[in-house]
Structure 1
Amino acid sequence: MKKILIMVFLFITLKSFSNKMLKTERDSIKVYVQNALNMIKKRAVNSSKMNWDEIYLDAEQKTDQVKTIRETYPIIKEVLERLGDSHSKFFPPEMVEAYVKGYRATGQSFPEIEAKILENRYAYISLPAFYSYNMNEWREFVNDFRSALSKLAAEKPKGWILDLRDNEGGMFAPMFAAISPLIDQPDAIGWVNGNGKNIFFNFKDDKLFENKRAVYMIKLDPQKIKIKSTNLAVLINEKTASSGEFAAICFAGQKNTTIVGNKTNGLTSANQEHKLSDGAFLVLTEGITIDRNLKRYEKLGEGLIGDVKVGKLTGNTEKDTQLYLEKAYQVLEKKMER
């Protein structure tokens, strides 16, 4: 009888412990979803357009049906889709981990920067898309680009061509740090947040600033970049998207600069990433991109319109590149005649 009572006691104790564990796990799942929704509600630029009472209730009901945090991902993704900004995204932990590891650790080719002198007088340099979240690779990318700029500047070119075609985006911070020697003033690119505040990017003393707040440090190699000719042609196409578009907008309205191309892709909303407890990322559209003249780029799909159009392209990479370059040469020649 005593043994039976002990077994019954152990069974009740284990069941109670199991129930407590299950409740703790379920509570953590609910907290995870709650935190994600709170972040979206607080930071997303389209938050005010949402019926949050309905969203929280719907998410709570769906969360009651799942057993793991991973099963909540579709719930969060659905809320992001309802924002309607076409730019907010959810990245699961394994994808974030791959970005943090970088290109080489995941067996990918590191983005190549093409730099050369054309027509014996023009400095040409390309800025490719860059998707790594590895800080060592950020530093390598920025230093490679700036080193190429320094070598080109030493040739004393009569004008510059910055090629942003096919740059589909990625991490804007290293791109901005790379091209900053070509930008002629502070506060050339920024965004208006949900509260109507203007926030501008600037890069100085190895730090990327959002207004006066330093958000990233990218330690650069000491090198002198003396750009004497400020005549610049920036090449864009419809594959210039997201962070690639932000790079192009940096030069909108810059003196002696011409944007060559029909238009960019039109994903010009300003995004910020936020890490969740399991390592996943919420990337939220938190503002409307603005240029140095406070022009807003808020209409989805409109993008940045070129100053000089290239017309209908052939679809042949070599022929289309030549078409762009000829337009750039014409633009730069006119600038030199002034």
Structure 2
Amino acid sequence: MLHMKKNLLIILVFLFFSCNNNNSAKTYLNSAIDIMEENSIKTENIDWDNLRNTAHKNIEGKKTAEETYSTIENALKELGDNHSFFIPKQPDTIIGESDEIIPSVEAKILNKQIAYLKVPAFNKGGNLANKFATKIQSKIIALDRPEIEGWIIDLSENYGGNMWPMYLGLAPLIGEGISGYFFDWEKNSAEWSFKTNAVYNKEDNKLEIKNPYKLKKKPIKIAILTSGITASSGEAIVIAFKGLSYTKSFGQKTAGLSTGNHVYELSDGAKLILTTTIMADRTKKLYGGQLIPDIPTNNPKAKAIEWLLEK
């Protein structure tokens, strides 16, 4: 009798932990889907009951959070925004900022009177973001000469990252005030702007610089170069120049990721990078897809120079 009770206890303990593990996987998956349903820019277009039921079937027998990762990735693909993604839990590593490399910013004078600035993608935050913004402004300072009649901002290889250091770095050319907006699925908006020495997302100070540069003279013309590589935050910078009377874009259609992502950290440290907003320019014109250049061309730099030199 005692032997039977012992075996029964073992079975009950096994069943308890088995159910608990299964619940753990299901709870983790549900928490991720809840975030998607509440915040996705595509939430009104999704059959959430069907998506959730399909996801639950895919994790039958699964016990851990890690075993739900592929199902979460599939759910994100089902949203159809083409911008959301999932970052699994990463092992703990310590990387000193001194080990990080700030990308180079190409700057030169063309035809003796055109300032050319090529701004690459950048995806770091904190002090490194401030250094990148400062580097861009240092290049603007070097190019800001009396003989300069126009500027070329080359974003053709800028595939995105962190928009704020790019925006702050180029602020002397974009100017103060509102440059664009983020709209969520409920049509709530948050403007992004440059004021004095900082860039803001609504009232949230995203990045600031100690000694912001002011141009010696307002640009007469600014040409923006784009390509199919120009994406995400790169597209945000293209939008920041839209609506300014002295700007024109040249090149190819952009990648079509003119949407905003938000990072949600899950219980185990994995990250859900979810598209929650659509970008709009200073006139509140909505984008969300590819940006079409004013002058479509396979030779954007030459066409831009031609336009800049027109009297």
Question: TM-score w.r.t. structure 1 length?
Answer: 0.81
Is the 8 Å Cα contact of residues 258 and 331 (structure 1) preserved in structure 2? no
Partner of 2:215 in structure 1?
Answer: 226
- Higher mean alpha-carbon deviation, 27-36 vs 74-83, is at 27-36
In the alignment, residue 332 of structure 1 is paired with which amino acid? L
Matched pairs, number: 310
> Aligned match of 1:164 in 155, 158, 171?
155
Is the 8 Å Cα contact of residues 154 and 224 (structure 2) preserved in structure 1? yes
**Shift of the alpha carbon at 1:291?**
0.8
For residues 88 and 255 of structure 1, the distance between their equivalents in structure 2, rounded to whole angstroms, comes to 34
Is the 8 Å Cα contact of residues 157 and 229 (structure 1) preserved in structure 2? no
Is the 8 Å Cα contact of residues 124 and 161 (structure 1) preserved in structure 2? yes
Secondary structure of 1:290's counterpart equals strand
Partner of 1:77 in structure 2?
Answer: 73
In the alignment, residue 69 of structure 2 is paired with which amino acid? Y
- Distance change in 2, residues 1:61/1:326 (3 Å): closer
Partner of 1:26 in structure 2?
Answer: 22
Alpha-carbon displacement from aligned partner over 1:237-260 (angstroms, at most 9, x marks no partner): 222122211111111121211112
Residue identity over aligned pairs, in percent, reads: 29
Gaps of 5+ in 2: none
Partner of 1:318 in structure 2?
Answer: none
Partner of 2:175 in structure 1?
Answer: 184
In the alignment, residue 293 of structure 2 is paired with which amino acid? G
Secondary structure of 1:138's counterpart equals helix
Is the 8 Å Cα contact of residues 150 and 223 (structure 1) preserved in structure 2? no
- Distance change in 2, residues 1:101/1:30 (3 Å): farther
**Shift of the alpha carbon at 1:326?**
2.5
**Shift of the alpha carbon at 1:104?**
6.9
For residues 217 and 173 of structure 2, the distance between their equivalents in structure 1, rounded to whole angstroms, comes to 11
Is the 8 Å Cα contact of residues 23 and 63 (structure 2) preserved in structure 1? no
Secondary structure of 1:278's counterpart equals coil
In the alignment, residue 72 of structure 2 is paired with which amino acid? I
For residues 223 and 189 of structure 1, the distance between their equivalents in structure 2, rounded to whole angstroms, comes to 20
The alignment's C-alpha RMSD in Å is 2.9
Partner of 2:142 in structure 1?
Answer: 151
In the alignment, residue 122 of structure 2 is paired with which amino acid? F
In the alignment, residue 304 of structure 1 is paired with which amino acid? L
Partner of 1:46 in structure 2?
Answer: 42
Is the 8 Å Cα contact of residues 122 and 160 (structure 1) preserved in structure 2? yes
Matches within 5 A, 1:210-249: 210-212=201-203, 214=204, 216=206, 218-230=207-219, 231-249=221-239
For residues 234 and 246 of structure 2, the distance between their equivalents in structure 1, rounded to whole angstroms, comes to 21
Gaps of 5+ in 1: 314-322
Considering fraction of residues, name the structure with more helix.
1
Secondary structure of 2:261's counterpart equals strand
Is the 8 Å Cα contact of residues 198 and 209 (structure 2) preserved in structure 1? no
